[in-house]
A and B are shown apart, each in its own frame.
Chain A
């Protein structure tokens, strides 16, 4: 019965599955949130949305699908004509002060008031939207006179009266979470996992079964051997191209960066612009004052580091092959000289390019860099990342 809602969520690219939809139905069936739209909204959100990024989108779809369903609850057809007595009473008690209740008494008593309400509801033809509107517009009726506005009343709800004016889902409080950067990196992390290199170092905590068997056979008595646990010891060095044409690709590069940063303990990174020259930097705000000589980096990190360049490699060919070709400063030596120095120090290197692979042929500099890297240039996509990690893990 909520299938259109479910399909709209799917259409809005919220990852919902049948399993979650069934969980929602099960929740409704078990009577968790009877006659309570807000409760239904919360239940649906809790069952269907599993990531705060999608809550805002969910709110929009919800508002769209359940438009007009605000005052009277129960999409699954609560019999409005047969409003339970204590339900109405509770509603009134909640919203009426003592004096107002006295006033009702003078008007014929609470029961009669409720009787009137019920009668009016019976006259009502359309149950859902109409019902709410109808009560709401009855401004001259006792309901209006006693100062509660049924237009926004959530029947059977005790808390958060202040929220009534705006429906909870219309407030869209989760807007900020949509598309924040640290998220959405799971796929990248899984791809990067391939780079793990397990070695055993540290405290000897794990039983070494083959070692124990060998030692026992040799000594003639049981000799338990232990060994350290496996740990990921891969060392990664990343160079990021920043500024200029890279601005178009900032999102995916940030994703790669945050994924790599949380996945590897030994990860170092440096920034460069377009091509690598004699200076690198670690902080883009202080790129001119705190330049780290590339030679220092070359000497500091041993050849066991795996190196990943991230850049679009789109520049003028002079920036690669002539001294003084850099767009930012006078470089004594050509970029290509530095690239070869880097590759000599770290043979295990790849270049990740965020430009789409089928556009590479149109830019001369991409081909030049790719040649320098012996064709180890990969597109910055999941498939490309996997190919790159496979290449990087081929040699230790």
Chain B
């Protein structure tokens, strides 16, 4: 199994090496990077390229590690026992499988995406150490041990909101998706909108990088925002000359797709005001 990128995902060589190392050595791959650089998309594309199923586990601030393994629904069991339902005799009926369990027990290799692991509690990664390392866990209620039939390809994404513990990091391969340079971004745009007007793309990307390099922006626009913006430009049939927007402000046309908070919009208006004087 080797990952070589897909028709709709531009993967740099460093990314491919990291993904292939994770696949070959059966270790989790931790992917970090600015929001909107395609971290989550990566897992989908790996699953696509290898033709395997993707199991997504979206982590939230309230998610606990145990939920990924299994949950024991004691309340239903108590209720059933009172109603005289025969099912309650078997505790197994009340064990709800988590995503990790699903990923371990499928008969084919799967891609398991643990999305935004940094959203959870600071101890969350520590609670998954053994499970991800040995790819097995114990179910106390039934006394069975769930062991991975086929070790899944584990992709973990993080937005850097919390630092992850060293012990956890040591068990992973790591890749930081850096922001693409203009050439790569052009490739990405081409993949997403084939047959787009090249002069428009070039003008748009030039302006996009100008915006990104503006000092003091609260939120720099990212790859996904560039793609949205270009789609809007195409939909509105804007010519490259029109792209600058009206002369009064430095704001580009349809800037709503790029600048997501009002302080950044104000910043641009102020810059325009200063440059006019």
Q: Which residues of A contact B (CB under 8 A)?
A: 15, 17, 19-20, 23, 26-27, 30, 32-33, 38-39, 42-43, 45-47, 49-52, 55, 157, 159-160, 162, 168, 173-174, 177, 182-186, 189-190, 193, 207, 212, 221-222, 224, 226, 229, 262-263
Contact = CB atoms under 8 A, between A and B. Distances in A.
Given A45-B174, A46-B175, 16 more contacts: A27-B25, A32-B24, A39-B17, A43-B21, A46-B18, A46-B173, A50-B30, A173-B178, A174-B178, A183-B160, A183-B163, A189-B122, A207-B75, A212-B78, A224-B75, A229-B62
9 contacts: A38-B13, A49-B174, A50-B166, A50-B169, A51-B174, A177-B176, A186-B122, A189-B163, A193-B122
A50 B75 contact: no
A19 B163 CA distance: 20
Nearest to B23: A32
Interface of B: 12-14, 17-18, 20-21, 24-25, 27, 29-30, 32, 62, 74-75, 78-79, 81-82, 122, 160-166, 169-176, 178, 183
Given A42-B13, A46-B175, A160-B13, A226 B25 contact: no
A222 B82 contact: yes
Contacts of B170: 17, 19-20, 50
Contacts of B20: 32
Contact of B162 (A27, A55, A173, A262): A262
Contacts of A229: 62
A32 B23 CA distance: 10
Contacts, number: 97
A204 to B, nearest CB: 11
Contacts of A226: 75
Residue among A23, A42, A157, A263 with the most chain B CB within 10 A? A42
Contacts of A15: 166
B21 A47 contact: yes
A186 B165 contact: yes
B17 A33 contact: yes
Contacts of B171: 19
Given A30-B25, A32-B20, A50 B172 contact: yes
B21 A27 contact: yes
A46 B74 contact: no
A51 B79 CA distance: 49
Given A27-B24, A51-B174, A162 B162 contact: no
